[in-house]
Amino acid sequence: MKTLYSQLPAIDSLLRDPALQPLLAQTGTAFTTHQLRAMQQEAREHIQQHQTLPAWHANWPQEALRRAARQQQSALRPVFNLTGTVLHTNLGRAQLSDRAIEAVVNCLRQPVTLEYALDEAARGHRDNAVSALLCELTGAEAACIVNNNAAAVLLMLAALAPGREVIVSRGELVEIGGAFRIPDVMRQAGCTLVEVGTTNRTHLKDYRAAIAENSGLLMKVHTSNYQIQGFTHAVTEAELVELGEAYQLPVITDLGSGSLIDMTGFGLPAEPMPQQLIAAGVSLVSFSGDKLLGGPQAGIIIGKKALIEQLQSHPLKRALRVDKMTLAALEATLQLYRQPETLREALPTLRLLTRCSQDILQQAERVMPPLAQRYSADFSLAIAACSSQIGSGSLPVERIPSYAITFTPRDGRGSHLNHLSQRWRSLARPVIGRIQEGKLWLDLRCLDDETALIQALVA
């Protein structure tokens, strides 16, 4: 045992080893020394437990370089999203446009007018950068920006109805990812939830009967992550606005995804648009920036100026505000909507959602041969029609025709699929597909760089 311990090299000698000089030049003496001491302690523990030296003992410099590379690797790694979900929450939702990326880089390299009004040479408001654009695009009187749509809902409730009742249809008490539930948010905001109607049918008379002296808001929540079908009835925003005006109650809508364009014009299913609700008289509308809008994560609130001013002056607004990078990316994204004729190509989300299935099929036919040559010994490969989904709660039951390359283990063992999927997730740029029906599916709808994918999977 003592002989094994004596074979462990001293830190000083390792630091002088020529093979370790690249690591020293890259990370410095302090980091490298810390790394070597950790390895030395690990080696001692291995000797104590197994009475042998660790396998990597023969080449300390190489092992130190490998570990340093792993530690310095970013936690936010680029991946190939071949899941078939365009707006994948776990993979970052919307990809930003080139224009938005450039705007973020520019605002990071130099001072910017984040809260500085050039005309008055005085402090301005950070939301001004995008509020005018949002009003132009939606017809709203004013706008407010927070860090996501959940924050937007919380702020609206806390600022407009603290200690008061908020009336919502029972069929709209949604839960979204991360256990975000409308009733829980209401409690956090200091509001009292008043449920009306039933899960599948709510009428205007239900809202009217629930209005009382302590009523503060009438609220609509777009059920973007599920649908109730069959014997159903819901009250429209226009009907609710008319009722709210009669009782002097604001109407707010949590729209969720929020598309600023008519999706049917691109062959996609219809989705409620914020500007439609503003035109219907809704007091405030909230929606996400990183879903169908195709921008950065943000919660956008548009509506009546007096109510927006209440939100801006609430203490929560400062806690929920966004930074200059988000504002820069959001402004650049909204600028693209001023040119609807070029929006499809300029906005990655829209481009991926509207890719022609025939183009995807042709791409699959190009990608298939090199993958078949590499994997056909163990797997049967095929090109199969499949259905992509929009994702992030947008149009939950709608599917978009697409094509995938499927891998079926020749011996029928599902463990081989799991092993293959795990191998691909460990690549320098992980490849993320989905296992379904005894096959590993690579849906190519979101594949931009087919050459890079082939190189990754064939190497």
pLDDT tens-digit profile of 58-78?
888 899 888 888 888 888 899
Q: Tell me the mean pLDDT in the region 299-306.
A: 98
Looking at the fold, whether 362 and 375 belong to one and the same domain comes out as yes
Residues 146 and 231 in one domain: yes
Backbone angles phi, psi at 392, to 5 degrees: 55, 35
pLDDT for 179 equals 62
Question: In sequence order, what are the residues at sequence separation of 6 or more whose Cβ sits closer than 8 angstroms to the Cβ of residue 116?
Answer: 122, 123, 124
Residue 225, number of CB atoms within 10 A of its CB: 16
Mean pLDDT of all residues in the chain? 91
Per-residue pLDDT at 86 exceeds 90:
yes
Residues 333 and 412 in one domain: no
Q: For position 231, what pLDDT does the model report?
A: 63
Residue at which a domain ends, from 346, 374, 403: 346
The number of distinct structural domains making up the chain is 3
294 in the same domain as 336: yes
Distance, CA of 259 to CA of 255 (rounded, Å): 9
Q: Say which range, 3-7, 136-140, 154-158, 180-184, has the weakest mean pLDDT.
A: 180-184
Does 342 share its domain with 355? no
Q: Are residues 391 and 334 in the same domain?
A: no
Least confident interval from 9-18, 44-53, 184-193, 390-399: 390-399
Per the document, the length of the chain is: 459
* Amino acid 397: pLDDT: 61
Q: What is the pLDDT of residue 172?
A: 79
Give the end of a domain, one of 323, 346, 369.
Answer: 346
- In this structure, the answer to whether residues 356 and 341 fall within a common structural domain is no
Structure tokens at 81: 């999203």
- Identify whether residues 230 and 295 lie together within a single domain: yes
pLDDT in the model for residue 202: 87
pLDDT in tens, 218-249: 999 887 655 666 666 788 899 999 999 999 99
**Which amino acid makes up residue 30?**
A
pLDDT for 185 beyond 80: yes
Whether 237 and 269 share a structural domain: yes
Q: Are residues 250 and 363 in the same domain?
A: no
Number of H-type helices and E-type strands within the chain: 20, 17
Residue ranges making up the domain that contains 365: 80-90+351-458
Shared domain for 338 and 372, answered yes or no, is no
Which domain CATH number covers 430?
3.90.1150.110
Residues 240-283 pLDDT 10s: 999 999 999 999 999 988 899 998 888 888 888 999 999 999 99
291 with 314, same domain: the answer is: yes
H-type helices in 121-268, by residue range? 128-138, 149-160, 182-188, 204-210, 237-247
